Chains A and B, each alone.
Chain A
Amino acid sequence: MEIKKILLTENKRWILGSAFVAILLILPILFLLTGLYALEKTSLSYLWETLLLDYTFNTFYLIIITAFFSLLFGIFPAWYISNYKFKGRFLFDLALYLPLAIPSYIMAFTYSDILSFTGPIQSFLRANFYQASLFFNRDYLQIEILGVILALALYPYIYTASRVSFTLLGSNYINVAKNLGLSSINTFYKIIIPLSRPAIFSGLFLVLMEVLNEYGAVKYFGINTYTTGIFRAWFSMNDVGAAIQLSVIMLIVVFTFFYIEKYISSKTRYYYKINTQIQKLSKLTFKNKIVVYLVCSIPFLFGFLIPFLFIVNNVLTTYHLVNIKDLTDLTFNSVIVSTISSALIIIFALFFLFIEKISKTRLNYYISQSISLGYAIPGAVIGLGLIIMFTSIKNIFSSFSLLGTFTLLIYAYIIRFLAVGKAPIKSSIEKQPDSYDDTAKNLGLSPFMLLKKIHLPINKFALITAFIVTFIDLMKELPITLILRPFNFDTLATQTYEFAIEEMIPLSSIYSLSIILIGSILLLILKNILNKQIDVS
């Protein structure tokens, strides 16, 4: 049926094209899974006997803590900023995005330094308030603390999603709810949260993917998760089987999570009308103002300002050791590679989403889902998958080798980050009514012209958003770059990492600061765009 349908449609060339590209993108993952047949039973039983329980517990515990705190740090400020008027509202709205510019491993290293026995807080207390310093002299490398730190680095995903959603919902619902006598708290929990759930969930999904894939920070905190387990099995024990088994378990976790949400959404479907009135922001009483300021400043303060100042301070103490030429070279490398890769990623994302929209076949739905798979797999695993795949190809066509080239590096980036670039474009495309496509078709526009004349312009903002979000993620990317990079190629992220793992955090600061500054500038641009989008509707 399905095949017949595809062959009958006028878009069949596009559909087949998208299927072909999708295969290229998931091939390395399939190559890995072929490793499953070569499994030794001993790996699995060894894992069961020793570590699996520990890995599973840690992974889920860390996910729960991070999820809880990133929801807390993300939703409430978004709610207040979307609906209330207070001084500094605009600034908070900008500032709350900024933690996204700080790579989570840098956040973790920085905080463990700040909190440590030789860090500024404990040193200050020891010098001035000895008794208090005894109380604060603790072991801060705990899973709970890591969860909060990761939440501070990742909550902007939820903030962004809920901020847009809350604004789009707007005052209609709130007014109706108030007229019906619901208190503000009840309105928030009974009306706004359920209506915004898909948006919040899309943000939460990104947070969880990041936590699942986190390697540097969890290793430093001595917490064994599935990802550290994959590395340990594969690299330290040379047990590819166990590594693949763990990857598969991780994928199952992701799918479960994904489908639970799907199931719930399908059972309770909300249709809501987007706000059309100019939204009136409510004023706050004095008491509420304090709450609002606290809620809005805590995530910014701890998620950005404190680590940022700490890093700046490190830079100031080590600036005489910085090689300016290295710094500019690395910045150039990071920017160029991230630009090219993000551009390709949004082209691919738009391509797939556009075909999904015009074709409406099940095949394209699955294609569109499966190309996001890469985001659920640790970068190093994708890197190795590609190496294995290209080795097999080389064995067939002997002269063809991409190993050690930028092409392969960018290929890997696309696989890993397509999902990131896809999300904003998807939500924008879904908002466009089908009537645009139908009208265009009736007017005789070819699919390519439809893409060029209609979808490119109307999704312009989404495309720029997607570009920026992907770019920032790529600037922070580490494991793929390490494993697939060509000779003499360093980025800001790899240099930061190399100093950090050698316990030379101050020397790494100038490089992490560059990542943060470039990211922050882009985030400010992004914020501007999002504001425009919100205004438009």
Chain B
Amino acid sequence: MKKLFYLLLYTVLLGCSPNKNSKEVNLYSQRHYAVDKLQYENFQKLTGIKVNVIKANADELIERLKNEGEDSPADLFVTVDAGKLYRASKMGLLQKISNKIIDTNVSPDLKDKNGYWIPITYRARILVYSNQRVEKNDLSTYEELVDEKWKGRILARSSSNAYNQALMSSIVANLGSDLASSWSKGIVRNFARDPKGSDRDQVKAIAAGQGDIAIVNSYYIGLLLSSEKEEELNAGKSVTVFFPNQAENERGSHINVSGIGLAKYSPNKENAIKLMEYLTSEEAQNTYVNNSYEYPANPNVTPSEIVQSWGTFKRDTLDLNMLGKYRDEAIRIFDKTGWK
């Protein structure tokens, strides 16, 4: 009993003791991939700065940051959705960064116009279509998916998914609420089944013949095409990637960034900026593309082979903050038009 008591006391004290090591940087991160761990290890080898991480969902981390206020140990807030970075910046949780190295490292159109966050990678929310039942020429834009001819053929995951929410936000930003609403209605009308499952499941559903076109994230298609399971590979090969809205007068395919914001009360600001510089550098950007299926934010780096095989595409150059600004509106539209 006594021993147990001391053990407990020990944990309590251990838990309370603040870690005052200046050779470190603290991350609140939505990213939790193997590649991130690798990056942080490389960074530590290079600089001697230890990277501490708490991984959770972006919104929960925002809530945590907000409540911790000035006492927050967080230096950097890492997400896979520009919308969340926008939200954090609007809530006053981030501080502006101006750094020449980072500025030259990343593509200008991926940057935050207000200077609160930086991009590290990006993904496109694109279409895949059945090789058997759809002709490439039948497809053109996101908007065209509401056409009568796609009735009962479109697949997508649920509207609780942040990537769908970001796509809808981009449509609200580009076309306005009314058109976005009728677009959503049209998509719901054309659904092959109720939205469910993961992006990978949408591709499987095409392979299974349950639908013909799916709205998916480029990142997951890359994952599927590198699967160790033969059946999954076959499913992946039964579809082709299509980048919508590519014509001359079109806006380009919807993209979203994985990015980093500097916390307003960052205790290790210098180290934090060093890490941001490193993560946008060619070395780290190469590590990203070699270990995941994301597009690099640094234009000097080329994506992985699988990703390259889909060809290049025109990105929607919408200010990515709009993905956060119109998020509430997007969700209301989903709810009202019955996109579950």
Contact = CB atoms under 8 A, between A and B. Distances in A.
Contact of A222 (B71, B158, B207, B229): B158
Contact of B228 (A340, A494, A506): A506
B302 interface: no
A380 B56 CA distance: 11
Interface stretch (A280-288, A357-365, A402-410): A402-410
B100 to A, nearest CB: 30
A402 B13 CA distance: 10
Contact of B67 (A122, A403, A487): A403
Contact of A344 (B8, B52, B56, B201): B8
B15 A406 contact: yes
A267 to B, nearest CB: 41
A317 B200 contact: no
B328 A238 contact: yes
Contacts of A144: none
Contacts of B195: 222
Given A403-B64, A406-B14, A487-B52, A502 B33 contact: yes
B210 interface: yes
Contacts of A503: 198-200, 220, 223-224
A340 B7 contact: yes
A329 interface: no
Given A220-B198, A235-B60, A236-B331, A486 B54 contact: yes
Interface string A464-503: 0000000000000000001101111110001000100011
Contact of B53 (A118, A231, A488): A488
Contacts of B325: none
A493 to B, nearest CB: 13
Interface string B42-60: 0000000000111111011
B128 interface: no
Interface in A373-427: 380, 383-384, 387-388, 390-391, 394, 401-410
Interface in A135-155: 137, 139, 141
A402 B16 contact: yes
B228 A317 contact: yes
A503 B232 CA distance: 12
Contact of A117 (B15, B52, B204): B204
Contacts of A494: 55
Contacts of A498: 32, 55
A237 interface: yes
Contacts of B196: 141, 220-223
A504 interface: yes
A439 B16 CA distance: 45
Contacts of B210: 139
Given A231-B160, A236-B160, A112 B197 contact: yes
Contact of B205 (A117, A383, A407, A486): A117
A123 B231 contact: yes
Contacts of B327: 236-237
A195 B19 CA distance: 58
Nearest to B210: A139
B53 A391 contact: no
Interface in A290-310: none
B57 A388 contact: no
B59 A236 contact: yes
Interface string A246-288: 0000000000000000000000000000000000000000000
A79 B55 CA distance: 46
Interface string B76-92: 00000000000100000
B60 A483 contact: yes
A172 interface: no
Nearest to A502: B33
A197 interface: no
A490 B55 CA distance: 9
B59 A235 contact: yes
A128 interface: no
B229 A506 contact: yes
A234 B59 CA distance: 9
Contacts of B200: 503
Nearest to B33: A502
Nearest to B160: A232
A349 interface: no
Contacts of A402: 15-16
A405 B26 contact: no
A242 B259 CA distance: 29
B197 A220 contact: yes
A408 B19 CA distance: 17
A403 B68 contact: yes
B67 to A, nearest CB: 4
A112 B198 CA distance: 11
Contacts of B205: 117, 139
A53 B56 CA distance: 30
B314 to A, nearest CB: 27
A228 B68 contact: no
A521 interface: no
Nearest to A392: B67
A184 interface: no
B201 A404 contact: no
A488 B50 CA distance: 11
A118 B336 contact: no
Contacts of A350: none
B68 to A, nearest CB: 6
Nearest to B91: A238
A405 B64 CA distance: 13
A63 interface: no
B324 to A, nearest CB: 11
B63 A407 contact: no
Contacts of B193: 139
Interface string B1-31: 0001001100110111001000000100000
A118 B235 CA distance: 7
Contacts of A117: 204-205, 207-208, 231, 235
A311 B229 CA distance: 14
Interface of B: 4, 7-8, 11-12, 14-16, 19, 26, 32-33, 52-57, 59-60, 63-64, 67-69, 71, 73, 87, 157-158, 160, 162, 165, 193-201, 204-205, 207-210, 220, 223-224, 228-229, 231-232, 234-235, 327-328, 331-332, 335-336, 340
Given A112-B197, A224-B160, A340-B7, 8 more contacts: A116-B201, A137-B209, A222-B157, A222-B158, A236-B327, A402-B16, A404-B54, A483-B60
5 contacts: A117-B235, A238-B59, A384-B60, A402-B16, A488-B53
Q: Which 6 A-B pairs have CB atoms at the shortest separation, nearest pair first?
A: A222-B196, A405-B15, A235-B59, A117-B208, A406-B15, A118-B231
